[in-house]
Amino acid sequence: MIKSYKLRRHLANGFIYLLLAVLGIIWISPFVYLVMHSFRAEGVTTVAYLIPHEWTIQNYIDLFTGAGGTAQLNFPRWFMNTFVVAIFSCIISTISVLMVSYAFSRLRFKARKKFMNVGMILGMFPGFMTMIAIYYLLKAMGLTQTLVALVICYSCGAGLGFQISKGFFDTIPRALDEAATIDGATKNQIFWRIILPMSKPIVVYTVLTSFIGPWTDFILAKIIMLDSRDNYTVAIGLQLMQDQQFKNTYYKQFLAGSVVVAVPISILFLILQRYYVEGVTGGAVKG
Amino acid sequence: MKKILAILLAGMMTATALAGCGDGQTSGDSSNPDSSGTGDAPGLAELDAEGFVDAAELGDETGATIKVWAPDAAVNLTQKMCDAFAEHYADKNISISVVAQGEKDAATQAQSDVDAAADVFGFASDQLDNLINSGVIAECAYTDNVIAMNTEESVKAGTVNDKLYYYPETTNGYFLVYDKSVVSDEKAQKFEDVLAACKDAGKRFIMDAGDGYYSCIFTFTGGVTIDGYADEEQTVQNFVDYDEDTAVATLQAFAQLIKDYKGTFTSLSVDKIASGFADGSCGAGIDGIWDIESDSEKLGENFGATKLPTINVNGEDKAMISMYGYKALGVKSTTKYPLTSAALALYLTGENCQRQRAEQIQWGPTNKTVTEEDVVKNSAALSASVEQSKNSVAQVHITSTFWDPMANLGNQIIADEWDPSNADKTKELLTATIKNIKDE
Amino acid sequence: MTFVEYKQLNPFQRFAYNFKKTVISAPKAIANFFKAIGMAIVKFFVGIGKGLKNYGTTFVKGDWATKLSYIILGVGDLSKGKYYKGILYFLTEVLYVLFMMFFGWTYISKFGTLGTVKSHIEYVGRAPKTVLGDNSMLILLYSVLTIVITVIFLAVYISNINDAYKHQLMRAEGKKPSTIREDVRDFLDGKYHITLLSFPTLMIGVFNILPLIFMILIAFTTYNKINLPPANLFTWCGFQNFGDVLDVLGGSLKATTFIELTKWTLIWALFATFTNYILGMIVALMINKKGIKFKSLWRTLFVLAIAVPQFVSLLLMNQILQTDGALNILLGYFMGGNPHIQFLNSTPLMARVTVIIVNCWVGIPYTILSMSGILMNIPEDLYESARIDGAGPMKTFTSITLPYMLFVTTPQLITQFVGNINNFNVIYLLTNGGPTTENFYQAGYTDILVTWLFKLTMNSQDYNLAAAIGILVFIVCATLSLIVYNNSKSMKDEEAFS
């Protein structure tokens, strides 16, 4: 009986290993394909086989030197732009999200529920509908076609994403706050000295999600930047390479660019994965 | 209180930032929409040998700073031309910057913020109506000169309600490109021969039949062509009177050929043509002028180009009719320097500059003189472009509802399950497509 | 009924219980929702009435300084020694007046007509130059801005009066107004929520709410491609755009398209949400199963799909799924000859299934990440007793894991459902709405409402129509999630952990 139980478990585990391996391959293979073809020397756009015949790093060199075509593309600059925008918007976003979620989780005040309800549904209006308005508001402030405008756009709505981190704060026992209050601490001190140090996972989670935003947006950034190529981000830059007039010249550089964008984010994700899981779990249980 | 202060400060910032803006935009009390000043055409302007107008035409505009939009491939050349322009009028102290901006998006970009748009911008002719409707483009100031210099078709495409708006720059469309080692020059004249030659060589014929821009060939060739709008509001496409039987027969002929050459005829995006030439999987295709450089680079000596071939419908060889547009320059209606911008646009689209572009970046001219010159005659692609533009419907005055139904028609006709012999079904599809385009 | 009690029911009882609960609670929830909205409106007007009454009585009872505060803000506070607040009130008034004089009034005065002065052309020598008239779009936008600022100013104005009266009463009682130091401390403790929320609220107000009001108003105007600013004026047109979209009986192409796309959007959201949810959970269970090694390796394989930006991974997927793309090539290796399967562009069913499957590829990693932790929290004894009863893995999943997870994560599910209704990226980048059809207006078979909306704005500049559709989508999503959230377990037991 015991033996057959063990056997069954081994069989079951073996089956699971097999399934996981197959699924893993399915999930990873598009990226393997992407990386392989970013090193492809021959061909123009796609080719009729899976593994490149000749390998080269020319695509990456061209990407960073702007060679290999007549277009006015400046990938290194776009990369720096995106990096700067991502850093600033992630700082502002993180601070706003934490402030809002702490207020909703720990403080009790009039209209708290109403605020939360409004906050929840605001994000449900199709976002790009409001872009014309955002553009002209930024223009009124003289900020269009600048990186500052992007930072504002990416971080302004951050406060609305409070659900997960509010859920996380909700799981921190209230007894801690109460003890601190008896010791004479203000709410401000409780926030900075007690809650924040315990919230590493959710801080990391917020930082990660808001850092990625600027790398992936390809609609709003284009509307704000118009013809100012020097201030493009990688997303619109890569999108530009897919344009009809460039596709034949820049397709392989597009692949290389995609890899260059994906690698740092992936590494960041892999390193901080543990916190991400903890943060999102804590938040979701209570969210 | 912090909150209130912050809001008010922000409001205040906004107010000061906008004070200037607001003044500029609220016009005087003139509620009269009529134009003031001299509205009648000033007639032909004298051009010197290089294509410059007399300095007097620039009026008293000095120290003009002008932004020009040109597509990436033309930025360097355009900058050189602009420098020459500035130098010619050295005492006017003009400074011109050329900024890269694809023609496809130019109108959208200009509309979304007129203030940030270039004073002189390159755009594709199908966007003309949008530019006129939103008032972004100014009328052409040198109408007589443009008419005198350029081909009739190119001028006609830029004329709306008897007013010419743009300065035509180059032809913009697609034609047949082929590998001479697969399809001989002679065989390239007939669609049947092209497909047969490709099939014999085991290579593909590539056309993007799932894009309305190309698939309109199927209906245009059968006489179902478009002619402007049917209504004042420019929302309904007007079709010319056509013979339904001919149209259906032509569609059937296309469908039959495509079915007969299944595996040879492939519907893929046009960028696959250059790839196909590179790896030897493609024998011929219908490709646009923007891809000619990469196509010819891959094929070298074997690169061939000609106007679209004929197709045999009920025993008669019919020339394929395509959609053909133009790239043109427009002057922004609100530019601070209307005279300088107009003179610059005229110069940039003049004979001299068109010749330079034809020679250096292979742009097919619209200028009558340059069209007849060796630079065009010696280039297969440029002459194909000029020839095809004669068998075409101008890509202007097209409703936004045109493209999707037309793409759908292409997709249906090339589908495996489509039955070319079924005339009723074909007629049904044609009727539904036109109905959908007209949004009825 | 608690979860444990629920677990003790047999499947039939459970079904009956759930069914009853849903049927009973649905109308009530909807009714409650609208009742709540109604109550809020009533409260709002009662509040205004009360405010007006206070406004009058305070004026009668106020001393000279309080009375003067009705015209010059901050006088009351200044006269009672509350200097910094008085100065702030006064500055607010000055700024507001300046704002209205130099900016606000220009626009708000034209709000009713959205502009009357047309652009006209003047000739400079031979060249025409357009002199712009009113810009309806800017008038609308900046009017909204002005209205919002005015409302805020009114709030400040009222608080100024109340504050003046409060200090008047305090002086009468012989108390001193609080010092700056005390006020600062109050803002860091008792009123800490104001400190925390003001900055995010300001940002959200300017860049989310204000544009939103603008977009909502657009739905009631004639802002489309024939009335494009700056050359043309557009104006108000009431509910005409909604009429166009909802004109189902008229059988217009737009109305048919709207109905068909709504159906598909709901089907899509349902499938996209539940396939991700259930399959993701199964994969997460496998990874986290006892005795499975290399957990982090497995997780990493999946997580990569999150780390690569969607416009890259989905464009890549689009190319892989083309007739001569990598998947067909791969199938060709096994089948001996490229099958040229049209995944994205043949039949509607094929394309729709493909989209849902690719969405699994995109979404399952998120589920794995967010569910792993919760799955580990399921009480072990539940599984223990199931095992003793001889339940297999399938049975355990359907009767323990799934109900437990549904119980705990309903809010997430709703968020995801709403997120999928608005899932622009997957559809836009993968199929761009294809396969095409002659039966829809400006849309293909896989277009969902948001992508249709995007096409309407970008291709045909039907801003007004798009805004109307946007509002309809928004109403559905918002109602749905408000009802579910406010009735959900975790919302009701907010204090459970504390």
Any chain C CB within 8 A of the CB of A137?
A: yes
**Residue C5 to chain B, least CA–CA distance (Å):** 50
Chain C residues with CB inside 8 Å of B409's CB? 438
Would you state the structure tokens that stand for residue C160, as one six-digit string? 């100024």
Residue of B nearest to A143 (CA): B17
Any chain C CB within 8 A of the CB of B63?
A: no
Q: What is the CATH number of the domain that holds A151?
A: 1.10.3720.10
Is B27 in Cβ contact with C133 (below 8 Å)? yes
Assess if residue A154 is contained within a domain: yes
What is the predicted pLDDT for the residue at C18? 66
What is the predicted pLDDT for the residue at A97? 92
**Count of all residues that appear for chain A in the document:** 287
Question: How many other CB atoms sit within 10 Å of the CB of residue C41?
Answer: 10
Chain A residues with CB inside 8 Å of B274's CB? 44-45, 248
Confidence of residue B436 (pLDDT cuts 50, 70, 90): confident
Assess if residue A192 is contained within a domain: yes
Residues A97 and A169: beta-carbon distance below 8 Å: no
Residue of A nearest to C330 (CA): A50
Assess if residue A242 is contained within a domain: yes
The pLDDT of residue A286 is above 70? no
When divided into structural domains, chain A yields a total of 1
**Interface contacts (A, C; CB < 8 Å):** 264
Q: What is the pLDDT of residues B334-359, one digit of tens each?
A: 999 999 999 999 999 999 999 999 99
What is the predicted pLDDT for the residue at C257? 87
The pLDDT of residue B28 is above 50? no
Q: What angle do CA A99, A100, A102 make, to 5 degrees?
A: 65
What is the predicted pLDDT for the residue at B38? 45
What is the predicted pLDDT for the residue at C252? 76
Q: What is the pLDDT of residues B234-284, one digit of tens each?
A: 778 889 999 999 999 999 999 999 999 988 999 888 888 988 898 888 999
Would you state the structure tokens that stand for residue C229, as one six-digit string? 């600013």
DSSP state of C121: E
Q: What is the pLDDT of residues C325-335, one digit of tens each?
A: 889 989 888 88
What is the predicted pLDDT for the residue at B16? 42
What is the predicted pLDDT for the residue at B75? 92
Confidence of residue B12 (pLDDT cuts 50, 70, 90): very low
Chain C residues with CB inside 8 Å of B210's CB? 345, 434, 436
A191-198: Cβ within 8 A, 24+ apart: A191/A102, A191/A106, A191/C192, A191/C196, A195/A102, A195/A106, A195/A169, A196/A98, A198/A172
What is the predicted pLDDT for the residue at B344? 95
The pLDDT of residue B39 is above 70? no
Would you state the structure tokens that stand for residue B241, as one six-digit string? 């009177």
The pLDDT of residue B43 is above 50? yes
Q: Which of B279, B287, B297, B361 has the highest number of chain A CBs within 10 A, making it the mutation to test binding with A?
A: B279
Chain C residues with CB inside 8 Å of B233's CB? 226
What is the predicted pLDDT for the residue at A172? 85
Which among C135, C125, C231 is positioned nearest to B341, based on CA atoms? C125
B304 bridge partner residues: B178
Any chain C CB within 8 A of the CB of B210?
A: yes
Residue of A nearest to C464 (CA): A129
Confidence of residue A159 (pLDDT cuts 50, 70, 90): confident
Alpha carbon distance, N-terminus to C-terminus of chain C: 22
Question: How many other CB atoms sit within 10 Å of the CB of residue C4?
Answer: 9
Would you state the structure tokens that stand for residue B164, as one six-digit string? 């010419």
Question: Between the CA of residue C241 and those of B438, C229, C260, C461, C462, what are the distances in Å?
Answer: 19, 19, 18, 14, 10
* Mean pLDDT rounded to a whole number for chain B: 86
The pLDDT of residue B8 is above 70? no
Is B72 in Cβ contact with A246 (below 8 Å)? yes
Would you state the structure tokens that stand for residue C165, as one six-digit string? 């009266």
Is B99 in Cβ contact with A144 (below 8 Å)? no
Conformational region of residue C236, where left means phi above 0, alpha means psi within -120 to 50, and beta covers everything else: beta
A230's enclosing H/E stretch is none
Rounded Cα distance, B378 and C343, in Å: 44
C48's enclosing H/E stretch is helix C11-61
A104-132 exposure pattern, b = at least 16 Cβ within 10 A, e = fewer: bbbbeeeeeeebbbebbbbbbbbbbbbbb
Residue of A nearest to B13 (CA): A141
Is B142 in Cβ contact with C126 (below 8 Å)? yes
**Residue B433 to chain A, least CA–CA distance (Å):** 26
* Contacting subunits of A (3+ beta carbon pairs below 8 A): B, C
Average pLDDT over residues C95-122: 91
Q: What is the pLDDT of residues C124-167, one digit of tens each?
A: 888 888 888 899 999 999 999 999 999 999 999 999 998 899 89
What is the predicted pLDDT for the residue at C496? 45
Is B59 in Cβ contact with C345 (below 8 Å)? no
- Pick C376 or A89 by higher pLDDT: A89
DSSP state of A40: B
- Pick C254 or C270 by higher pLDDT: C270
Assess if residue A26 is contained within a domain: no
Assess if residue A214 is contained within a domain: yes
Least confident of B207-211, B258-262, B312-316, C229-233: C229-233
Percent of chain B beyond pLDDT 90? 52
Task: Mark out the alpha helices in A125-196 (DSSP H runs).
Answer: 131-140, 147-156, 163-171, 174-182, 187-189
Residues whose CB is less than 8 angstroms from the CB of residue A30 and which lie 6 or more positions away in sequence, other chains included: C313, C316, C317, C320
Is A144 in Cβ contact with B116 (below 8 Å)? yes
- Domains of chain B with CATH codes: 57-172+326-381 (3.40.190.10), 174-323+395-437 (3.40.190.10)
What residue has token string 């952990």?
Answer: C497
Q: Would you tell me which residues 159-198 of chain A have a C-beta closer than 8 angstroms to some C-beta of chain C?
A: 159-160, 163, 167, 170-171, 173-175, 186-189, 191
Assess if residue A44 is contained within a domain: no
Residue A196: helix, strand or coil by DSSP?
Answer: helix
Domain residues for the domain of A211 are 65-286
Would you state the structure tokens that stand for residue C344, as one six-digit string? 């994205």
Residue of A nearest to C484 (CA): A117
Any chain C CB within 8 A of the CB of B13?
A: no
Q: What is the pLDDT of residues C471-483, one digit of tens each?
A: 888 888 888 777 7
CATH of domain C249-492: 1.10.3720.10
Is C311 in Cβ contact with A218 (below 8 Å)? yes
Residues whose CB is less than 8 angstroms from the CB of residue B396 and which lie 6 or more positions away in sequence, other chains included: B125, B126, B128, B129, B157, B158, B325
Is B28 in Cβ contact with C230 (below 8 Å)? no
Is A126 in Cβ contact with C474 (below 8 Å)? yes
Nearest by CB: C470 against A102, A107, A129: A129
Nearest by CB: A247 against B71, B271, B279: B271
Q: What angle do CA C345, C350, C356 make, to 5 degrees?
A: 105
Q: What residue segments make up the domains of chain C, in order of their start?
A: 1-58, 62-238, 249-492
